[in-house]
Structure 1
């Protein structure tokens, strides 16, 4: 979903940057507060950032001006809350734009909003709802990561449709076109991300269940997918 450099009109690029800025600022504050209270979580924060960087760098060609890939942000959102993923995602997206030519600087705000704001908040909300209805931990993680990934691409489709409405059908027709093209690659990628996130959580639970319980995650000694 990384929209490439220079693809969005200037006013859209600025608008999405302004919309993302408060989330990045608050997320930075939340991380500083949390690490100040729990310095032992620094390593796990680094793992969450690396997980996002690696997964979101695995890109496949998709919509013109964009691409499909896992996002990895659901994992960090479940560990540290969705707000924390805004600055972490911003760092990931900035480095990918500068080092991998993946995304861009002018489209950074739009990419942050879809991948590092909407995706994590959806993943976190889905996880909490799934736990409230007493789904198994592994299934809760799966649905959270998969739907967080999918809603990231729904958001990107809306961003592209706003920037490039269909001459006849307007926003709705353009959104349908972008979303349907993304769906070809993103549906299997979202499922794959869900399964991978469950596997990573299972490994964490197996070797570090105590720390996860201290982070208010409802895990037993070993999570079940």
Structure 2
């Protein structure tokens, strides 16, 4: 935790409003600002309910939520400008694939929402009017895509590393697909092509920094899963990530 606060203070001291991450404040018109808040709010509410329920049955659950919340916050605090988008958004790791696998997708949405809110309030990353949209892309799409990618990989009996790798990679891809969709929708009122705009924005992300970041984050999540399995397998068992009979999941 001291490391987290050190990183927090470092970014607080060096944050610049001109280089905001996620979708930047002021980009979304009022109707989309309201729409994305309405879409995201129920997921955050369910996440809060699940935290209250699970902390009664899993003693270590609340500290795990705090730890992964710090991880998601720090992961998503490394903005890499996407020059082709003219300052509308930046690229960065997400961390929601890992939090979704360990905590469940709804709680992962809550974790992402809190991280995004803190960044908007104190670091000038993202914004309050774009919070709903950023929660939708990074929290909802990132968490659920990573969670289902992990479960599908488990059903295919892939080793734990590759289950984690796919969760991290797919989570990143869907996060930036969501951001591309949100920005692509902005051209409709001006008579532009939604499909063309979305495709170009997504290509700008994936052909620059985010394509590499997807692979890096996938590897990080894979190694974290294997590390926990080898050192503290009881954590994965208690959280329902693996079962007792999952003997082939250690590599």
* TM-score interval, normalised by the smaller of the two chains: over 0.9
Structure 2: gaps spanning 5 or more residues: 1-20
Matches within 5 A, 1:39-54: 39-54=59-74
* Counterpart check, 1:103 vs 2:126: yes
- Equivalent-residue separation in structure 1 for 2:48 and 2:153 (angstroms): 27
Given that 1:55 and 1:70 are in contact with CA atoms closer than 8 Å, whether structure 2 keeps it comes out as yes
SS at match of 2:108: helix
For residue 59 of structure 1, the aligned residue among 73, 76, 79 is 79
Map 1:4-153 to 2 at 5 A: 4-62=24-82, 63-64=85-86, 65-153=88-176
> For 2:177 and 2:211, how far apart are their aligned partners in 1?
11
SS at match of 1:223: coil
For each residue in 1:136-190, what CA deviation from the matched residue of structure 2 results, as whole angstroms up to 9, or x when unmatched? Answer: 1110110111011111100110000001249675101111111111112111001
* Moved segments of 4+, more than 6 Å: none
Asked if the contact 2:159–2:249 (Cα under 8 Å) also holds between the matched residues in 1, the reply is: no
140 and 221 in structure 1: CA distance in 2 versus 1, 3 angstrom threshold: closer
When the two structures are superposed, what TM-score results if normalisation uses the length of structure 2? Answer: 0.85
Counterparts of 1:16 and 1:169 in 2: how far apart (Å)? 21
Q: What is the deviation of 1:220?
A: 4.9
Question: In structure 2, what is the equivalent of residue 223 of structure 1?
Answer: 250
Shift in Å at residue 66 of structure 1? 0.5
2:221 to 197, 207, 222: 197
| Count of residues paired in the alignment | 224
Q: For residues 205 and 126 of structure 2, what CA distance do their matches in structure 1 show?
A: 16
Check whether the contact 1:205–1:220 (CA below 8 A) recurs between aligned residues: no
Q: Distance in 2 between matches of 1:18 and 1:217?
A: 30
Q: 1:44-82 deviations in whole A, cap 9, x for unaligned?
A: 222211111111111100123100001000111001110
Distance of 2:99 and 2:130 partners within structure 1 = 23
Contact 2:93–2:217 under 8 Å retained in 1 = yes
Q: Secondary structure at the match of 2:78?
A: coil
Note the residue ranges of structure 1 that are not aligned, 5 or more in a row. none
| 3-state SS, counterpart of residue 3 of structure 1 | coil
How far is the alpha carbon of 1:199 from its aligned partner?
2.0
- After superposition, the CA RMSD in angstroms is 1.7
Aligned residue for 2:128, secondary structure, equals: coil
| TM-score calculated relative to the size of structure 1 | 0.94
